[in-house]
Structure 1
Amino acid sequence: MELQDYMDVLAKIGAAVFATVDADGKPRTRYANVGVANENGIFFMTKESNDFYKQLMANEHVSISGLLNDEDGIQAITVDGKVRAVDQAYLEAILKDNPYVKDVYPDEESRKDVVALQVYEGHGSYMNLKAHSKGTFDFSAE
């Protein structure tokens, strides 16, 4: 599989589990929506006021895990990478045709504190349980 194939799986998953560490070094997980995934990285959003954002700004390392069950079988994917905040212009791409995000942030008022983030560098592993195949991938964006 090529990099974009792995990114397509991530994009189809939608909500994935994002793991960070808190100020005490304890692991913290939560679901967040993968808004865009391509050769430039993985883009998602969160509110600047929540613990998730604060943990990412204190420690740029994140682990993302997701599972997709479709006509191609059960596909599991994990990405370990580094995160940075990006220009708010990315929000439109993250929000476009995205039912998960539209439920959480339905209007401009609910989006006023939202920040766009990018996993700009990472290593991933993939497994398709139906096809009995697996692979790894790396990406790095400017």
Structure 2
Amino acid sequence: MALQDYMKLLENIGAVVFATVDSDGKPHTRFANIGVANENGIFFMTKPGNEFYTQLKDNENVSISGMSNDENGIQAITIEGKVREVDQSYLEDILKDNPYVKDVYPDEEDRKSVVPLQVYEGSGFYMNLKEHINDAFEFSANEHNT
């Protein structure tokens, strides 16, 4: 599979598990929605000031895991990478197909206050149980493009 196939799978899964560590080195996980995933990285958003945001600002390393089970069988993907904040102009693309945004941020003003983020480089592992595929891949985005 090519990088765009892995990223498309991740984007289609949508809500994935993000793992970070706090200032004491303790791990924390939470679900967050992938807004855009492509050759330019993985784009998502969160609210400034929450624990997730603080942990990402204190330590740019993140691990992401997602799984789907459909006609292609069980597919799992894990990515370890580095995160950076990107310009607010990315929010429109990140939010446009997010089915959860109105539940998480029901107020339009709340949506405007979220921070867009990009996993700009990393490595990943893909597994398809039905097809017996195990692949590793890497990605690196030089620019902040979506």
* Structure 1 match to 2:4: 4
Task: Describe the SS at the equivalent of 1:49.
Answer: coil
- Which amino acid in structure 2 is aligned with residue 49 of structure 1? G
Q: Kindly indicate whether residue 38 of structure 2 is the aligned counterpart of residue 35 of structure 1.
A: no
Distance of 1:80 and 1:35 partners within structure 2: 17
Say whether the 8 Å CA contact 2:34–2:43 is kept in structure 1: yes
Q: Deviations over 1:12-34 (max 9, x none)?
A: 11100000000101001100001
How high is the TM-score relative to the length of structure 1?
0.96
The TM-score with structure 2 as length reference comes to 0.94
SS of 2:29 mapped into structure 1? strand
Structure 1 residue identity aligned to 2:109: E
Unaligned runs of 5+ in 2: none
Tell me, in whole angstroms, the C-alpha distance in 1 between the residues paired with 2:42 and 2:113. 20
Q: Tell me if the contact between 2:20 and 2:27 (Cα under 8 Å) persists in the aligned partners.
A: yes
- Once the two structures are superposed, what CA deviation does each residue of 1:108-127 show, in whole Å capped at 9, x if it has no partner? 22213200000000000000
Q: Please give the root-mean-square deviation of Cα atoms over the aligned residues, in Å.
A: 0.9
Deviations 1:27-49 (A, max 9, x none): 01100001100000000000002
Partner of 1:74: 74
Q: Which residue of 1 aligns with 2:98?
A: 98
Q: Residue 53 of structure 2 aligns with which residue? A: 53
What is residue 65 of structure 1 aligned with on the other side? 65
